[in-house]
Amino acid sequence: MNETIDSILIAFSLIINQEDYLIEIVILSLRVSFLATFYASILGLSLAALLAVFRIPGRFIMVGMINGFLGLPPVVVGLFLYLMLSNNGPLNFLELLYTPGAMILAQTILITPVIAALSYEILKNANEEYFDQLTTLGASKIVICRTILWESRYSLSTVVVAGFGRAIGEVGAVMIVGGNINHLTRVMTTAIALETSKGNLTFALALGIILIFISLVINFILIGLKQKAGLVEGKKL
């Protein structure tokens, strides 16, 4: 109980004093997770829309594989990327190993299936609702994809938020490909793992409290923007 209280006090102290160490890892954590979520959203939403609209052979097998990838072990993904990006790997020319770029790539691979799987059902239902009407108007399937993505944007924003939550809490893969290097690739989750391994549980818990606080603030901001956009759209109608 005392450790928990001490951790809360340390967390508030770090925030109030704006410690350089904290600011640095928070900024890097947000940058890596935001970029990974952005890239994964482009890939995941595009894939989900194509699967929802186009009658691709083996479509249900592909959907099943995407759902299966939801349980991808982060450590395995990290190890695979490490082998690909290492000096003996086929992607060594990219020189991404132990850089934020490798961490972004790892998070993108991990959360793309999350966004694709969750958005597929939303877009499938939207396609069933709008397909006949849009086809009658002569819309191509690409136009239908764009239309159902736009019409489902509020529901899909929740999916993107879920993907961001998955990204910012990732530790296994980013530690393997990023190396947890101070002032270069250390983020909130890897800092927590490091402090825990050093036995500094109070400080690790304080960082954990800050990470939860940041995640909640970002989620509340996104939810607020979503609700505000919905109200504006409702007034226009």
pLDDT of residue 228: 66
- DSSP codes of every residue in the chain: -HHHHHHHHHHHHHHHHT-HHHHHHHHHHHHHHHHHHHHHHHHHHHHHHHHHHS--TTHHHHHHHHHHGGG--HHHHHHHHHHHHSTTSTTGGG--TTSHHHHHHHHHHHHHHHHHHHHHHHHHHHHHHHHHHHHHTT--HHHHHHHHHHHTHHHHHHHHHHHHHHHHT--HHHHHHHTT-TTTT--HHHHHHHHHHTT-HHHHHHHHHHHHHHHHHHHHHHHHHHHHHHHHHHHH-
Q: What is the pTM of this model?
A: 0.85
Backbone Cα Rg of the chain:
21
CATH of domain 2-236: 1.10.3720.10
Query: How does pLDDT run across 187-219, given as a tens digit for each residue?
Result: 988 888 888 888 877 778 888 888 888 888 877
Q: CA-to-CA distance for 174 and 22, rounded, in angstroms? A: 18
Sign of torsion, CA 149 152 154 155? negative
Q: Which candidate, 150, 160, 152, 145, places its Cα nearest to that of 56?
A: 145
Domain boundaries, the chain: 2-236
Mean of pLDDT values over 8-20: 63
pLDDT over 90 at 227, yes or no: no
State the chain's mean pLDDT as an integer. 83
Q: Match 């592909």 to its residue by tokens.
A: 62
Q: Which candidate, 43, 163, 188, places its Cα nearest to that of 107?
A: 163
Query: How does pLDDT run across 35-50, given as a tens digit for each residue?
Result: 999 999 999 999 999 9
